[in-house]
Chain A
């Protein structure tokens, strides 16, 4: 039994990472403490450095990667934002850094529990993104992430995301693969494009003058990210051959014959699956699609999975203030030109770790059925229960704002 954080640490250990610059933040810290312990006891041959900030941590991880070492780092919410400038920089260096983000809501108000505004803020940086539902998936995804990022057709850094508390501190049975088996799947990192050595001086990350050089390099990154879709399938197949577990870009649950589909990501998908099962018991043909790969966005797989469905409800555990759910916008743009596109509804739920209860799922599914009748998807719905409303009223009273 391993927590999500311990599973992440095991992934890093099995990937035989050379270099780990860190900075503590809840709920990620257990990962770096676990690694520090292993390194201190000599079971892992890596260099571990506590930096002065996440900005420095990302810079050191990126520059070590640009020198030719396999690097890892991890953070959460405020830390991710503190290092934000360097996400774009490191992606532009075209180095295959693997970084775990343990999702946590962003201040203010400051909080500890998860939503995905942190990692989704990084969606345009050039980092690829894998989002996990289970502890096993966290470990496996780190191994897959190195393979994907280090592939010469890709050479972009990558996030492996897991939810704070709900996954980071949840214990689940996890199969820990054998290191020899991992070596077969993930060979030594020997970059041909990024190094610093005396015999072959190289300037990396030079300035450019003018938009045409700038655009060229940005287009290169976009095309590399697009390449990652095909490379992902290869990596996925090889992983399944080696380890017997399959992780496609998207995961369907009771999806094939479903009319009404919930779209979710990360650990709350488990709640969604239970709700789908309950709806099936009530005779509703519900299903769930969990997005696992968010960058590059798996457009074709998404279309194949929800094309022809009656209604789709995107449950965004994030909020783009002034617009609504981020994933709803992304999915809508994929479907716009489709002939047979489902009615697409938008719900905001689970912010700051707020539970999504069976009643709330039932409400969402009912809205899909009603929407299909009226052909009206409505606007983004901010999910909040009566009970929560009453409790908030009580708290406001205590704060003198009743």
Chain B
């Protein structure tokens, strides 16, 4: 009897990892799909699109360690869209699950009980609620111990699976189930989005990057670069979420792109703490263009225009790019 909800796949011995060079254009993206279609995520899920690209970069010799969130439902007994291994843990502790697997693989290989060919990359996959809030302790521990693992956070800026409530990643002025704009609080969320990149970067991990499903070339090259480092390799993907953000599913990629073009989502990387921006728009679009197309910010425009809030958001973005002396 296998453990609760165990699903085996015949992988065939000797599954080879793709060897990948740095790519130049979208045409160079590996055509192999490591995640099959037909998942129960919403149409137009930006997180799933980001994951699909990540999986192309990571190959099949991986084990995904998941925390509670939308993507927990990717693997529902007896189905899995993955050609790789998977372990669901709980909301707070996927990095600790990664620690146990990594250590066990290392021990078994060292003691000659596992063929080194059987080795796997260990990949944590969580939403922002887990990453920004409940998993901070377990992630900090894992980074501090220099655990050799990948962390992919699909950041839909809310607790998505529970029906879109405020999380530490929710941006200022966003409407969620627990930050409803009302007579007394017309703005919605009153707190600023946490800077998880800075929190993680304070540990000076070997590799840390933000990514976007609308920038797959940048995304894949970041994984490619990360591969050379032993230790934590961390990725945060801003992931448009049609039901949470109040957008049409066909608009996901456009919006992900707009987030970068307006400067709301800075594409960057840090190697041992040294920061570099990888995509800097030639001319920044006004943030309003990004906000006004999303249902979660509709209350900033109707019934009354919330000038103060809109200015504050634009100022926040300008301040970021000025601080990094990249605002042209």
Contact = CB atoms under 8 A, between A and B. Distances in A.
Interface of A: 18-19, 21, 45, 47, 49, 51-53, 55-57, 59-69, 71, 85-86, 89, 92-95, 155, 188, 190, 193-194, 196-209, 213, 217, 220-221, 224
Contact of B11 (A65, A200, A221): A200
Contacts of B76: 206-209
Find the residue from A197, A201, A224 having the highest chain B CB count within 10 A: A201
A47 B120 contact: no
A61 B11 contact: no
B4 interface: yes
B137 A53 contact: yes
Nearest to A193: B2
A49 B118 CA distance: 23
A202 B85 contact: yes
Interface residues of B, number: 63
A199 B85 contact: no
A303 B86 CA distance: 45
Contact of A55 (B9, B65, B92, B111): B92
B75 A203 contact: yes
Given A197-B118, A198-B119, A94 B105 contact: no
A56 B93 contact: yes
B3 A194 contact: yes
Given A199-B11, A207-B76, A217 B105 contact: no
Contacts of B82: 201, 203
B89 A89 contact: yes
B101 A196 contact: yes
A158 B171 CA distance: 45
A66 B119 CA distance: 15
B72 interface: yes
B196 interface: no
A190 B112 CA distance: 12
A63 B2 CA distance: 14
A92 B97 contact: no
25 contacts: A21-B96, A47-B103, A53-B138, A59-B90, A59-B96, A60-B96, A61-B100, A66-B100, A67-B100, A69-B108, A89-B90, A94-B3, A194-B6, A197-B115, A198-B120, A199-B11, A200-B10, A201-B11, A202-B9, A203-B87, A204-B3, A205-B87, A207-B73, A209-B77, A220-B4
Contacts of A209: 76-77
A62 to B, nearest CB: 7
Find the residue from B60, B99, B114, B118 having the highest chain A CB count within 10 A: B99
Contacts of A53: 137-138
Nearest to A56: B96
B105 A67 contact: yes
A19 B101 CA distance: 11
A221 B105 CA distance: 27
Find the residue from A85, A94, A207 having the highest chain B CB count within 10 A: A207
Contacts of A201: 8-9, 11, 60, 82-85
5 smallest CB-CB distances across A and B, nearest first, come from: A63-B100, A52-B141, A56-B96, A67-B104, A60-B100
Contacts of B308: none
Interface string B103-125: 11111100101110111100000
Contacts of B104: 18-19, 63-65, 67-69, 71, 196
A189 to B, nearest CB: 9
B75 A207 contact: yes
Nearest to A224: B1
A64 B105 CA distance: 8
A19 B107 CA distance: 8
B55 to A, nearest CB: 13
